Structure 1
Amino acid sequence: MKTTIMCYLLLILFLPGNIGENSNPLDLSSLLGNSGYPGVKIENKNREIGQPYFDLDMRTNVTAEIGEDAIISCVVRQIGSKTVSWVRKRDSAILSVDNVVFSSEDKIALEVNTEYNAWNIIIRNAQEGDSGIYECQVSTDPKMSKLIHLKVTVPQLRIHGEREVFAKSGSDVIFTCTVDSNQQHRWNIQWYFRGKDEKSYQVYPTLNQDNPGVWFLGSVSDRDSGEYLCTANPLEPVSIDLTVLPGERFAESMVKEGTPSSKSEKLHTTILFSIALCTFIIYVI
Structure 2
Amino acid sequence: MTMRSLSAVVAAILLQLAQFLTATNIPIVKPFPGLEDLPKSFWHELSSPFTEVYEEESLATEIGATPEPRPFFEDDDSNITVQLGAQVHMHCRVQHLQKRTVSWVRRRGDELLLLTFGINTYSSDSRFSLNYEKPNDWRLLLRSATERDAGVYECQVSAHPPFIRTVYLSVSVPKVEIVDERGATAGDKFYKAGSTIELKCVVSKVPHPTGYVTWRHGSRMLNYDTTRGGISVKTDMGAEGAVSRLYIANANKKDSGNYSCALADVAATTVSVHVLNGENPAAMQHGRSAGLRAAFALTAALTLTSLLR
Match of 1:98 in 2: 118
Is structure 2 residue 249 aligned with structure 1 residue 218?
yes
* Structure 2 counterparts to residues 93-172 of structure 1, below 5 A: 93-115=113-135, 117-159=136-178, 161-162=180-181, 163=186, 165=189, 167-172=191-196
Cα distance in 2 for residues equivalent to 1:243 and 1:172: 12
- Contact 1:229/1:240, CA 8 A, preserved across alignment: yes
Is the 8 Å Cα contact of residues 108 and 124 (structure 1) preserved in structure 2?
yes
What residue ranges of structure 1 are gaps of 5+ in the alignment? Answer: 1-20, 25-47, 193-201, 251-285
Does the residue aligned with 1:191 lie in a helix, a strand or coil? Answer: strand
Q: For the Cα contact (< 8 Å) 2:179–2:201, is it kept in 1?
A: yes
What amino acid maps onto 1:175 in structure 2? L
C-alpha contact (below 8 Å) 1:156/1:235 kept by paired residues: no
User: Percent identity of the aligned residues?
Assistant: 28
- Distance in 1 separating the partners of 2:267 and 2:132: 37
Aligned-residue RMSD, C-alpha: 3.6
Tell me the TM-score normalized by structure 2: 0.52
2:157 touches 2:164 (CA, 8 Å); kept in 1?
yes
Counterpart of 1:53 in structure 2 is: 72
1:191 aligns with 2:216: yes
Counterpart of 2:222 in structure 1 is 206
TM-score normalised by length of structure 1: 0.56
Q: Tell whether the 8 Å contact from 2:215 to 2:223 is kept in structure 1 after alignment.
A: no
For residue 131 of structure 1, report the CA deviation from its aligned partner. Answer: 1.1
Q: Distance in 1 between matches of 2:219 and 2:248?
A: 16
1:154 Cα deviation from its structure 2 partner = 1.1
Return closer, same or farther for 1:97/1:226 CA change in 2, 3 Å cut-off: closer
Contact kept, 8 Å, 2:152 with 2:168, in 1: the verdict is yes
Give, in whole Å, the separation in 2 of the partners of 1:214 and 1:103. 43
What CA distance in whole angstroms lies between the structure 2 residues aligned with 1:228 and 1:101? Answer: 43
Deviations 1:131-176 (A, max 9, x none): 1111111111111212211111111113354336554442212223
Cα displacement (A) at 1:78: 2.1
Which residue pairs with 1:230 in the alignment?
A: 261
Counterpart of 1:77, as a letter, is Q
Equivalent residue of 2:93, what SS? strand
Deviation at 1:128?
A: 1.1
**CA separation of 1:155/1:241 partners in 2, compared to 1, >3 Å: closer, same or farther?**
same
- Number of corresponding residues: 198
Query: Quick one: structure 1 residues 122 and 248, their matched pair in 2 at CA, closer, same or farther if it must change by over 3 Å?
Result: closer
Is residue 89–residue 132 contact of structure 1 (8 Å, CA) maintained in 2? yes
Q: Shift of residue 51 of structure 1?
A: 0.9
